[in-house]
């Protein structure tokens, strides 16, 4: 009998870092005898289409607005389908209804994976404070109903789990990885994309990520404004969408920056767009272990990130500043990095470094966690 694994939670299959990760896990299970299905709070035809080639299904459960209903529906599903493992990828401990449901349903292996190091709640300070309190309160219920505790970084582990878990043998850090070959620097691809985006010879700043509070997107536009004020021929290329998108667009219009920004929305060709950039800027308030920073370094871009980003993500041409520093200070550092790493000398990191961030390594590890010993082919 093939093993049956239930994984959560998919959002829409395109805009979420967790979505991207779970779809990579799905591909990693190819060649095993396992079937992996997914939980979501909003089932769509697009989601079904994304997973159907792998023999997978998507099940809709109530959102956390109805926690008891989510717990009940998930418990019924696991009992009915007889899953041998449940794998929950979450960012806040109060999203533990599925974990509790799996334990109550008698699922043999319940695995939790932390992907963030701070609260949601958008720009609303009160909501973020409440979610921070709830995260602290639900750490122990989460820990008491799972068997294995994974995190994309040490900081993400500290955010989601109590100290008793962090000190135990069931806790593991599994760093985010990518298909490194897809992101290697290629000058011909760079020129093609720069032409497509009408970038000319400008200094191109880049950012990939949703327009959410913790990404600090508006700060990027303030940095761009300072660079222009200092006489730089700078352009910001931004990939992503989200609740703060329109506010950033309005800022660009109000400050006469419209011709200096390329707000591309959600794209499937991030690897090609990175080639067109000159420097990657990432001023997040907090992160788990951002995959986009790994992709940027793999493509040979110097990266200026906030001091809040986890240290595990650094491996090639990186620098840091506090988000408490002014946009003018960030702009000055960018100009220094432009001189230190001229575009004509751009190259990807050595292969021995990239091996540590290649998805083949993490795929082997994840297969080992999800499959019963001896079941891999």
Over the stretch 164-202, which tens digit does the pLDDT of each residue have?
A: 999 999 999 988 888 899 999 999 999 999 999 999 999
Distance between alpha carbon 364 and the CA centroid of its chain, in Å?
20
Predicted local confidence at residue 171, as pLDDT: 97
Cβ–Cβ < 8 Å for 330, 223: yes
Strands 203-208 and 171-173, how do they pair? unpaired
Domain assignments of the chain as residue spans, ordered by start:
4-177+358-370, 180-349
Predicted local confidence at residue 15, as pLDDT: 57
Encoding tokens for residue 64?
């956390």
Report, as ranges of residue numbers, the positions in the chain whose pLDDT lies below 50.
374-377
Give CA–CA dist 221/214, Å, rounded. Answer: 15
Mean pLDDT value across the chain: 92
Give CA–CA dist 349/244, Å, rounded. Answer: 33
For residue 89, the number of C-alpha atoms closer than 13 Å in the C-beta half-sphere is 26
Residue 82 CB neighbours (<10 A): 11
Predicted local confidence at residue 13, as pLDDT: 63
Over the stretch 296-308, which tens digit does the pLDDT of each residue have?
A: 999 999 999 999 9
Cβ–Cβ < 8 Å for 276, 202: no
Over the stretch 323-350, which tens digit does the pLDDT of each residue have?
A: 999 999 999 999 999 999 999 999 999 9
Same fold, 4-177+358-370 and 180-349: yes
Encoding tokens for residue 337?
């990095």
pTM of the model: 0.81
CATH of segment(s) 180-349: 3.40.50.2000
CATH of segment(s) 4-177+358-370: 3.40.50.2000
Cβ–Cβ < 8 Å for 304, 337: yes
């Amino acid at each position: 009998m093939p093993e049956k694994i239930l994984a959560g939670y998919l959002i829409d299959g395109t805009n979420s870092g967790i979505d991207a990760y779970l779809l990579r896990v799905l591909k990693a299970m190819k060649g095993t005898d396992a079937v992996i299905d997914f939980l979501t709070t909003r089932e769509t035809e697009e989601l079904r289409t994304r997973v159907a080639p792998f023999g997978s299904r998507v099940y809709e459960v109530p959102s956390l607005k109805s926690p008891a209903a989510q717990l009940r529906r998930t418990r019924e599903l696991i009992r009915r389908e007889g899953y041998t493992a449940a794998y929950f990828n979450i960012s806040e401990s109060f999203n533990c209804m599925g974990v509790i449901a799996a334990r109550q349903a008698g699922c043999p292996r319940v695995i939790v994976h932390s992907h963030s190091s701070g609260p949601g709640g958008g720009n609303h300070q009160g909501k973020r404070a409440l979610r921070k309190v709830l995260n602290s309160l639900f750490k122990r219920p989460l820990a008491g109903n799972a068997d294995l505790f994974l995190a994309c970084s040490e900081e993400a582990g500290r955010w989601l789990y109590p100290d008793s878990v962090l000190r135990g043998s069931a806790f593991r850090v599994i760093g985010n990885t990518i298909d490194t070959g897809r992101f290697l620097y290629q000058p011909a691809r760079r020129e093609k994309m720069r032409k497509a985006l009408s970038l000319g010879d400008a200094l191109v700043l880049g950012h990939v990520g949703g327009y959410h509070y913790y990404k600090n997107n508006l700060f990027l536009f303030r940095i761009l404004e300072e660079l222009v004020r200092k006489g730089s021929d700078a352009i910001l290329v931004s990939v992503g969408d989200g609740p703060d998108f329109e506010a950033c667009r309005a800022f660009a219009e109000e400050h006469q920056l419209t011709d200096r920004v390329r707000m591309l929305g959600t794209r499937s060709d991030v690897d090609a767009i990175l080639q067109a950039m000159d420097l990657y800027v990432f001023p997040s308030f907090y992160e788990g272990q951002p995959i986009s920073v790994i992709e940027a370094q793999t493509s040979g871009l110097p990266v200026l990130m906030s001091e809040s980003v986890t240290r595990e993500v650094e491996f090639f041409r990186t620098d840091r500043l506090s988000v408490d520093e002014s946009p003018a200070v960030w702009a000055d550092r960018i100009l220094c990095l432009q001189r230190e790493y001229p575009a004509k000398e751009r190259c990807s990191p050595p292969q021995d470094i990239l091996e540590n961030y290649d998805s083949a390594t993490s795929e082997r590890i994840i297969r080992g966690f999800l499959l019963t010993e001896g079941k891999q082919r």
